[in-house]
């Protein structure tokens, strides 16, 4: 029987992750979130991730269409259910847990 721990291990070792990060131009928290997400993916999902950056200053209609009211907002689109995380993504342990990934 697969419990949460089994699922976490299986997903973290084989799945490709799709992320969408909503930012507001070069705002400090947006710049930090981009860097933190890139670092997290390089460390824990090397070669197994796709990142789409949506700058709401350039595409304001996306905020309404995608129900984003705060930036930065990270959306894990794949695998599994959508997960939304707000903020600069500076606490990797919390982010990994929220995404269902185990720390390596």
In the chain, where the domains are located: 15-99
Check: CB of residue 61 under 8 Å from CB of residue 68.
Answer: no
Band of pLDDT at residue 5, cut at 50, 70 and 90: very low
Name the pTM for this structure. 0.83
Q: Does the structure show a pLDDT above 60 at 87?
A: yes
Contacts of the segment 58-65: beta carbons below 8 A, 24+ positions apart: 62/22, 63/22
Check: CB of residue 45 under 8 Å from CB of residue 104.
Answer: no
CATH topology of domain 15-99: Glutaredoxin (3.40.30)
Mean pLDDT within 68-72: 96
Q: Does the structure show a pLDDT above 70 at 3?
A: no
How far are the Cα atoms of 19, 39, 70 from residue 16, in angstroms, in the given order?
10, 16, 26
Task: Give the tens place of pLDDT for each residue, 21-64.
Answer: 999 999 999 999 999 999 999 999 999 999 999 999 999 999 99
């Amino acid at each position: 029987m697969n419990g949460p721990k089994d699922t976490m291990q299986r997903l973290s070792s084989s799945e490709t992750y799709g992320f969408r990060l909503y930012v507001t131009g070069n705002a400090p928290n947006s710049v930090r979130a981009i860097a933190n997400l890139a670092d997290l993916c390089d460390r824990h999902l090397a070669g197994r991730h796709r990142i789409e950056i949506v700058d709401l200053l350039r595409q304001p209609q996306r905020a309404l269409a995608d129900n984003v009211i705060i930036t930065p907002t990270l959306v894990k689109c794949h695998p599994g259910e959508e997960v939304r995380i707000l903020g600069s993504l500076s606490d990797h342990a919390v982010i990994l847990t929220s995404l269902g990934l185990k720390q390596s």
